[in-house]
Amino acid sequence: MKATGLSHDRPDRTSNKLSNIRLTISEGGPGFCQFAINNVCNARCGFCNFAVNKLPQADWQYATRQGALDAVDILFRNGIRYLVITGGEPMLHPDLNAVVAHANSLGMVVLLVTNGGLLKRHRIEELAASGLSSFIISIDAATVQAHEENRGLPGVCNKIREANKLILELGLHSTASVTMSRLVDYDALPDFLNSLGFKAVTFSYPLGSLQSNFLGFSGSDLVNYTREELLEAFSRVKQLKKRMMVVNPGAGIEEMQRFLQDEEQRFPCLGGFQYFYLDWNLKLWRCHNWDTPMCSIYEFDGSQRIRDDCTRCMIDCYRDASVMQHIGVSVHDSFRALRQAKPGRALAALTRKGNLESVKAVFEQLPWLIRF
């Protein structure tokens, strides 16, 4: 970090790498959890039901400070090493810094999803000092006007531009998060993102409905595509890889195209097995698209894990991650079979369909993954 008067106590990276190797053998790799610490938002996005003009104030909720800290402990004990803090708008939570600092002290990599409206200098410096690893900042369009009109946050693009300068100075990272909507001009997007200081982008796949209490969806015409339109949009996303770092792996995009055409899926989702969604009431769900929670976080001991080769939805954070961790789970399955003296099953796991594509996906994303 450059001289700013800030310091954060980062856990030893070598120890973390050894821990992740052990987790790959014992469980299939380190897990991640999307922790929505509140459902409150200050934006008015047309394709999200968390929007301040859609969710009544009477329904606003925040995870308690102690509950959030307890949850981080429990997640860590159960192999979660990547914590994605989201909302609503998580920067509205009064205990955000404490949650980040606690997760970092355990050795978790902590990422923050934000609309950027509250990215003032002192807030960024506080989060850096707490040990935040990366910002994931929402961008909706390829022009200032279109983005700010959809968000209902005048001036937010300039805030994001200045924030990215400081984030870089502090030795942290930021990634643009773009929902695949009718607002997006894919040809103009790379130059616009670059003008805001982004070097990488991840695309959120459009969602018209979700079964959980997570409200990051909408039936808006902005995300209401025909199958043919969405197939074309995925092709446009894949083409952008020639112009900038697109975090969604190519194999993941192709899997979603197969999904839309009702073709065989090669990468079962690991939601509920390696990946989880934790809400502001501290209820743990297998993903955003399940109708009932698995349990309270206080009951979670690993026995609730589910692995049923689900491929029923196209939520990017679960499906794309499952593509890259497919090989890790295959290695885990192989070691487990060897311990059970079943060499044939061990070999079958290592030669499983999708393993080679999974390895390629990891190497494709290595410039982004290596940051963490």
The predicted-structure confidence for 62-89, as pLDDT tens digits, reads as follows 999 999 999 999 999 999 999 999 999 9
- When divided into structural domains, the chain yields a total of 1
Lowest mean pLDDT among 93-102, 132-141, 360-369: 360-369
The pLDDT score that the predictor gives to residue 8 is 46
Would you state the structure tokens that stand for residue 150, as one six-digit string? 């959809």
Is residue 15 scored above 90 in pLDDT? Answer: no
Cα–Cα distance for residue pair 180/208, rounded to 1 Å: 12
Mean residue pLDDT of the chain comes to: 93
The reply to whether 5 falls in a domain is no
Here the CATH number for the domain that contains residue 180 is 3.20.20.70
The reply to whether 4 falls in a domain is no
The reply to whether 8 falls in a domain is no
The reply to whether 1 falls in a domain is no
Is residue 32 scored above 70 in pLDDT? Answer: yes
The pLDDT score that the predictor gives to residue 22 is 73
* Three-state DSSP string of 307-319: CCCCCCCCCHHHH
The reply to whether 295 falls in a domain is yes
Instruction: Residue count of the chain, please give it.
Output: 372
The reply to whether 7 falls in a domain is no
Q: Which residue has the higher pLDDT, 45 or 5?
A: 45
Whole-number percent of the chain with pLDDT over 70: 94
Q: Mind listing the pLDDT tens digit for each residue in 132-164?
A: 999 999 999 999 999 999 999 999 999 999 999
Q: Would you place residue 370 in the very low, low, confident or very high pLDDT band (cuts 50, 70, 90)?
A: confident
Is residue 4 scored above 50 in pLDDT? Answer: no
The pLDDT score that the predictor gives to residue 27 is 74
The reply to whether 130 falls in a domain is yes
Is residue 368 scored above 50 in pLDDT? Answer: yes
Q: What is the mean pLDDT of residues 219-228?
A: 94
The reply to whether 296 falls in a domain is yes
The pLDDT score that the predictor gives to residue 28 is 76
Helix, coil or strand: residue 278: strand
Tokens 């310091």 identify what position?
7
For residue 253, give the amino acid letter. I
Helix, coil or strand: residue 59: helix
Q: Which residues constitute the domain of residue 162?
A: 13-369
Q: Are 7 and 1 in contact (CB under 8 A)?
A: yes
Instruction: Centre a 10 Å sphere on the Cβ of residue 341 and count the other Cβ atoms it contains.
Output: 8
The pLDDT score that the predictor gives to residue 20 is 66
Q: What is the mean pLDDT of residues 246-269?
A: 97
Cα–Cα distance for residue pair 317/216, rounded to 1 Å: 13
The pLDDT score that the predictor gives to residue 3 is 34
Q: What is the mean pLDDT of residues 291-314?
A: 96
Going along the chain, which residue ranges are E strands?
31-36, 80-86, 109-114, 134-139, 173-179, 200-204, 245-246, 275-278, 283-285, 295-296
The pLDDT score that the predictor gives to residue 6 is 40
* CA-to-CA dists, residue 316 to 89, 147, 165, 293, 348, angstroms: 19, 21, 28, 20, 28
